[in-house]
Each structure stands twice: as C-alpha cells, then as structure tokens.
Chains A and B, each alone.
Chain A
Amino acid sequence: MAIKEKITDYFEKYTQSLNGEKNSYLFSLREKSIKIFHELGIPTLKNEEWKYTKLNFLNNIDFEISNSAPHSFPENFKISDYYIENFEGDVLVFINGFFEKKYSRIINTEENLVVTNLNEAKEKYSNILENYLTKYTDESNNPFTALNTALANDGAVIILPKNFEKELPIHLLFINIPLQSNLITNSRNLIIVDSNSKAQFIETSYSWGDLASFHNTVSELYLKQNSEVEYYKFQNDSHSAYYIGSTQIHQEKDSRLFSTTISLAGKFIRNNLNSILDGENSEAHFNGLYFIGNEDFVDNHTLVDHAKPHCNSNENYKGIIDGKATAVFNGKIMVRPFAQKTNAYQSNKNILLSEDATINTKPQLEIFADDVKCSHGATSGYLDRDAIFYFRARGIDEKIAQSYLLNSFSSDIIETVKIDALRDLIKSEIAKKLSMNELYFCSILESNKI
C-alpha cells in the first residue's frame, strides 16, 4: 500500500479506538489535519519547496506507524550512548515517539515552570494547547506538518513563566528503536517562553539498528516580549535514519532567537526553520553547519518573515560536502509591506570535497517594504589549492592542511553553540571526521593552550 493510503487507514483505525477523546479540541485538529494531508499528498519534485528533495523513500520503504514504546530495549542498546556528556540540565527522552520518564531527568521544578510531555499536558494544560498548537504552523501547505498534527504521539511541552532568568538548558532526545518493522514517529513539541525569560533547548534525534526510522517532528516556539531563546539541533544519525523536522517560531517585541543547526550524518534530513518577527526590535539569528559524506542528504529550508518594522535577522549557513552526498539550502527572507527599517542578512558558503558531491543553494528574497537593508550571498567551490600548497611548503601534508582549512571554515558556526557540553560533543565529532585529535580554534584564548 502506498504511504498515503496507509496513513489514512491508520487514522481511521485510530479514530475507532478513541472514546471520549473524540470531543476534544486536539482531536478536531487531528481530523482537520489528516484531511489536509490527504489532499496534499507526498510532494513531488515539481513542488517548488521540494524541488531537490526526493521523497521516494516513503513509498520504497515499508513503514509502520509507531503506536507504543518497546517493552524492553535490545541487548546492544545503551541509552547512555545518547545522552550528552557533562550536560547539566533537563533531559526529556522519547522512545519511538513516547515519553520515557524513567530515562528522563527533570531537575528544574520551580513554581509555574512547566516541563512535561504532550500526553500529560493534554488534560492539565488543555487551554494552553488550544491557544497555541498550530497557530502559526504551515499545516495548509506542508503535508508533513499536517501528518504530524494528525498523528502526533507525544512530545515536549515546556512553558516558562515570566521573568524566569535562570539559565535553563533542556535537551529533547528522540530515539527510535524499530524492532519488528520500519518505523514512523510523529513528535510534537510546544515551547512557550514568557516575557523577560531565557532558555536554551537542544533537539537531537537518533535511530537505532538497521531497520529504517522516519522521524517526523514539529516544534512550535513562542517567544514573548523581551525573551531570549537559544535553540540547537544536532544531527548525527545513522544510515537508516530519515528525518523531517519543522520548527515554527513566533517572536514578539524585543525577543531574541539564536538558532544553530549542526548536521553531521543521516540518510535523509530535511530541516524547516521558520520564524515570524512579529514585534518591533525582535531579532533572529540562524546559524547552520552541514558536514556530510557518503550518500547522505541534508536539506535546510529557512524562512525569516519580517512582519513588523525595526527587526533584524542574520543568517549564516555553511556546508562541507564529501563523497556522494547532497545538500540543499533554501533561504527565504520575507519583508512585509509595513516592515520598514528591516535589516536582513543571509550567507551560505559551501565547500565540495569530492566531484560527486552536490549542493543546491538558493536565496529567495521577497521584499515589499522600501526602506530596508537586505543582503545575501552564496558560494560553492573546492578547497583553495594555493592555500594547501602553502601548508605543504611548510612540511605539513595535504590531509592535515585540509583539516585545518575545514576547521577554520566551520569554526565560527561551532562557536555560536553556547552550551559547553554540546559544543564539546560537536567539536569532537567534527574532529573525528577530520581525523584530528582535537579541533583547533583560532582565538587568543585557545592559542594560549598551544
């Protein structure tokens, strides 16, 4: 059966299994969304938003939809492999899409702070879910968002009260363990950061074993007035991992968003990162680094929507593509008619390490205001031969020279990660890719260590 019919069928059965929940608001959203999914279907390459992104794995692989967490873990599965070493903060673990309290760690228990999961929140915070879920997401034109809403198993619900300034790093950890069949999970996260509060979030998804996993994730982030959020995605998954993740951000006045997406491995990755700058003086910083090889595929689609005047956006994505890997970058900047005095900057630089590597990069500017400053630039090319020769002429072999050049190319993006434990993990994983003992960073601080 084709994936579309399979999902529609599944939803029918799921509906039949429900009792009282059918009257809930969430269920009405689900019903609406499954209809949209059915209408939209799986996008083809003719769809401009999916032009370079082949989705045939969805029909080529026989997926089942996850409906429960496994009763026990396989023998060679160690949950500790997936935690971030030395990470100090809350960890919310979801296995096959379902919250696992036993493996989670919630240390922040302040009054009015909510750190929980969607299934818990359904009853306790139903009014909040009603007010926020799907408010700004792209249900109507993205079938995967619609699919997620229709079938979301679980996810994180985090609500920070006003004036919560304590640094609060939270790691959302999604692990799929397909045991009998290839698996689809739909995780839905809702994060609300109230006025004058600060928070840090990390999202990671992993796929265990050789059966295929398809993570279809949607995160909604609400930044109230003068709040500040750091939002990190770190992707270092297996050859059996398929991932489509959409993050929809809504920013009020004076809010600040710092996002960094690091993609190092995964069979198929599509990241949608959208922010609406919906209050004056808000700012969004999108940083990204994809460093992939083999036959991996990474697609970053970003959208900064300048809806109000006097907002700043700054986007810097870099790519290193090796082997037969393919990367896609599509950066859209929208400046609405009243969004005067907008500053929007975008850059996408790529280095190809092999002749079989591919990059498709496209800036997309839609500017409807006249008093704005927008700039964008995209480059792609091979490593500078003259620079490599300069290293060699000093007794340094080509491999090390290449590592140095890639290290320095990527360092400004890595430095945007402000959580030490995460940055250390990223550095050590990149060092492994570069066959270096450790990464070198050109700053005075680091030079003292030489």
Chain B
Amino acid sequence: MSLLKIDNLKVNINGKEILKGLSLEVNPGEIHAIMGPNGSGKSTLAGVLAGKEDYEVVEGTIEFDGKNIFEMSPEDRAREGLFLAFQYPIEIPGVSNASFMKTAVNEIRKYRNLEPLDAMDFLRIMREKAKLVEMDQAFLNRSVNDGFSGGEKKRNEIFQLAMLEPKLAILDETDSGLDIDALKIVANGVNKVRNENNAFVVITHYQRLLNYIIPDFVHVLFDGKLVVSGGKELALELEEKGYDWIKKQYNGVLV
C-alpha cells in the first residue's frame, strides 16, 4: 500500500484555481522531488497536505497511510505521521524549543496510546537529535525560532522532523535562503533520518539541494499539474535548461 496517494487534486485559493488535477503516489522508502517555477502551486500542495485553512479543495482525494486526509485535523495528520517542514518557520517568543518539542512528542504519543516520555529520556533523545543538525545545547533553551537566522530556522525544522519521526515528511523549499554550509547540514540531517519505512517529498525550485538529498523520482509541477516525471537526471536537465522548455511545451497544451 502506498503511503501517500493523491488523485486528481483540484484546489482553489480565493476562488482561483491553483492545483488543477494533481496526482502523485509515494511509497515508504522513497524520496520524491517536486520542482517547478514560481507560482506553479508547490507551496499550495504542501499547505493542503498539512491542513492549512486557506485552501478550498474542489475535487480529488488524498489518502495518507490508507486514511482520507480531509477528515483529519492538522494536529491529527501530524499525529498520524505527516510532517511539514515550513518554508517560513514561525517565531514563537517565550516558548522554548525544548518545551515545544516535549509537548509535541507527548501529544503524539498520547494519540498512539503510548506513555509520555519522562524528562530524562526526553532530554537524552533531544540532545541526540540536535546533534544531527549540529545544534548545541543552548539552542534547546531558546525560544522557538525567535531571533534565529534563516539557516537556524531551517535546521530547527529538520531537528523537529528528527524528533517526531514522521512516516512522511514534506520539505517545503527547505533550501531557500540557505548558504552552502547550512544546506549541507540540513541535507545531512535528512539523510540520517531517512530509512526504508519513511518517505520524503522535497519541494524545491532549484536542483542544488538534490545534490545532497538524492531523489528516487523527480516531478515537474507546472500550472497546477505534474507535467513530467523522471529520475534524478531530470533535475539536472532542469538545472541546465531552466523551466522555459517546460513552459513552451506545456503552455497551451494542458491549460
């Protein structure tokens, strides 16, 4: 059974069609990259999956782990094992990373009928995971994303990913605004977390990140649909030729 099955998804924002019949299947162990020019609907896809309220689903279905995602609240999607790494992580002054993650982990455990982690275990796991993204102890006591640099915010997203151990992670332009060092740290973190049971959907404008997180499949999202799919070599082709040939080839044909 596939982990994620999107079928003919049509989504509007404020009455405007953004996704126009998108289909995608993701199996455990796979990494899918979704590439596309600005305005093609990449972030809308991420938002719809996570359960953001601003979208109107007009048609189509999404099954996550066999369940209809539209019947689940955003928190239940997270508890079921869906994770969105935000393009623009939110700053929450006054709530520490440690406290935020402890609440998240234990809420998810409660949903799965597991005992809450005790303070010692939690602290140990948290330190371990922080190392994956090369964050030090002090960072755990800092307020969530408050005053973080762009790179720190993205590393924090991957740290949270590592803490929550989702079945499916959607990385929404995690590479945007990162210098090469931060990019490597983030990619490294992802590679350490990936295994045969989980899956990733990596949404990106550029091929750069895919040098470090090697995708099994690359899809091009254009004008609300996936218009081309291929292996990792498709990303290189896009890098070389840009998106113009996609626009030329598919404009008018599919719209």
Contact = CB atoms under 8 A, between A and B. Distances in A.
Contacts, number: 91
Given A386-B90, A450-B98, A393 B51 contact: yes
B96 A442 contact: yes
A407 B92 contact: no
Interface string B58-93: 000000000000000111001100011010011011
Interface stretch (A39-47, A121-129, A396-404): A396-404
B50 interface: yes
A444 B96 CA distance: 9
Interface string B117-139: 00100110000000000000000
A404 B95 contact: yes
Contact of A396 (B90, B107, B140, B141): B107
B103 interface: yes
Contacts of B50: 393
Given A408-B92, A447-B141, A450-B119, A392 B98 contact: no
B142 to A, nearest CB: 9
A166 B90 CA distance: 46
A389 interface: yes
A390 interface: yes
Most buried by B among A385, A389, A394, A411: A394
B164 interface: yes
Contacts of B251: none
Nearest to A445: B141
Contacts of A408: 92-95, 143
B11 to A, nearest CB: 17
A442 B95 contact: yes
A72 to B, nearest CB: 48
B84 A393 contact: yes
A396 B95 contact: no
B104 interface: yes
B160 interface: yes
Dominant SS among interface residues on chain A: helix
B90 A440 contact: no
A13 interface: no
Contact of B107 (A387, A400, A442): A400
B107 A392 contact: no
A123 B99 CA distance: 58
B92 A396 contact: no
A395 B99 contact: no
Contacts of A398: 75
Nearest to B89: A390
A447 B99 contact: yes
Contact of B90 (A387, A442, A447): A387
Given A395-B79, A447-B140, A442 B160 contact: no
A385 to B, nearest CB: 8
Given A394-B100, A405-B92, A444 B141 contact: yes
A385 B54 CA distance: 11
B117 to A, nearest CB: 10
User: Interface size bucket, A side?
Assistant: 20 to 34
Interface in A346-396: 384-387, 389-396
Contacts of A385: 53
Interface in A229-282: none
A120 to B, nearest CB: 46
Contact of A389 (B52, B79, B111, B143): B52
B108 interface: yes
B47 to A, nearest CB: 9
Query: Which interface residue of B86, B98, B99 has the most chain A CB atoms within 10 A?
Result: B99
A409 interface: yes
Contacts of A444: 141
Contacts of A391: 75, 100, 104
A384 B108 CA distance: 23
Specify which of A411, A442, A447, A449 lies most central, judged by the most chain B CB atoms within 10 Å of its CB.
A442
A123 to B, nearest CB: 52
Contacts of B167: none
B107 A397 contact: yes
A260 to B, nearest CB: 18
Interface in A393-429: 393-398, 400, 404-405, 407-409, 411-412
Contacts of A405: 92, 95
B92 A394 contact: no
B155 interface: no
B248 to A, nearest CB: 37
B102 interface: yes
B94 A407 contact: yes
Nearest to A394: B104
Interface string A79-104: 00000000000000000000000000
Given A404-B95, A450-B122, A395 B111 contact: yes
A237 B98 CA distance: 35
20 contacts: A387-B90, A387-B92, A389-B74, A389-B90, A390-B92, A392-B78, A393-B50, A393-B51, A393-B74, A393-B86, A394-B101, A394-B160, A395-B104, A397-B73, A398-B75, A404-B95, A404-B103, A408-B95, A440-B95, A450-B98
Interface of A: 384-387, 389-398, 400, 404-405, 407-409, 411-412, 440, 442, 444, 447, 449-450
Interface of B: 50-53, 73-75, 78-79, 83-84, 86, 89-90, 92-96, 98-104, 107-108, 111, 119, 122-123, 140-141, 143, 160, 164
Given A393-B78, A440-B99, A442-B95, 10 more contacts: A391-B100, A392-B73, A394-B104, A394-B164, A396-B103, A408-B94, A411-B94, A447-B140, A450-B122, A450-B123
